[in-house]
């Protein structure tokens, strides 16, 4: 009887630990397209957030000013993706679908746009109601990233 009581106490403590754990992030950045109706809009790969590189997608981040390193697919005839850095304001409890918007399908330059944004389901930090979603009006223009010179 004491063995079953010990097992049930362990089970209850594990359930309490799992249910008491809060998420460590507040928002989500996704590089996949949400809509497919916009011409010259392409998915992006979020390479780094605040200098931390990762291949995990979508990226879970905290709210605040974030420095995004983003790769857009290459245009026809090129192999290398187009990499740019942007400053992006992330709001609490919002999932963002980001995309590269080009002027034409043959230009490599692009702007980072919000393809879609919606509240994160069940996100209520510290038991409060989620705040209203406020999308940034503009995104800072990209800053060129110097490429290292190759030595022969």
Q: Which of 65, 45, 40, 41 is nearest to 115 (CA)?
A: 41
pTM: 0.67
For 65-93, what is the mean pLDDT?
94
Which has the minimum average pLDDT: 27-41, 104-118, 131-145?
131-145
Residue 84: other Cβ atoms inside 10 A: 21
69 has which bridge partners? 48, 85
47-70 pLDDT, tens digit each: 999 999 998 989 999 999 999 999
Q: Which of 50, 33, 41 is nearest to 97 (CA)?
A: 33
Name the residue ranges covered by the structural domains of the chain. 23-124
Q: Return d(Cα 90, Cα 60) in angstroms, integer.
A: 11
Predicted confidence (pLDDT) at residue 23 exceeds the cutoff of 90? no
pLDDT band at 21 (very low <50, low <70, confident <90, very high): very low
């Amino acid at each position: 009887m004491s063995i079953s009581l010990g097992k049930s106490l362990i089970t209850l403590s594990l359930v309490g630990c799992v249910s008491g754990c809060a998420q460590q992030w507040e928002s989500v950045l996704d590089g996949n397209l949400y809509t497919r109706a916009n011409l010259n809009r392409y998915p992006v790969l979020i390479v780094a957030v605040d200098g931390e590189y990762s291949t995990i997608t979508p990226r879970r981040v905290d709210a605040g000013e974030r420095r995004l390193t983003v790769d857009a697919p290459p245009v026809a005839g090129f192999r290398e993706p187009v990499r740019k850095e942007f400053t992006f304001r992330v709001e609490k409890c919002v999932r963002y679908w980001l995309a590269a918007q080009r002027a034409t399908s043959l230009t490599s330059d692009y702007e980072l746009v919000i393809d879609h944004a919606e509240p994160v389901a069940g996100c209520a930090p510290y038991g409060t109601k989620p705040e209203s979603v406020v999308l940034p009006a503009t995104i800072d223009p990209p800053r060129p990233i110097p490429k290292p010179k190759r030595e022969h």
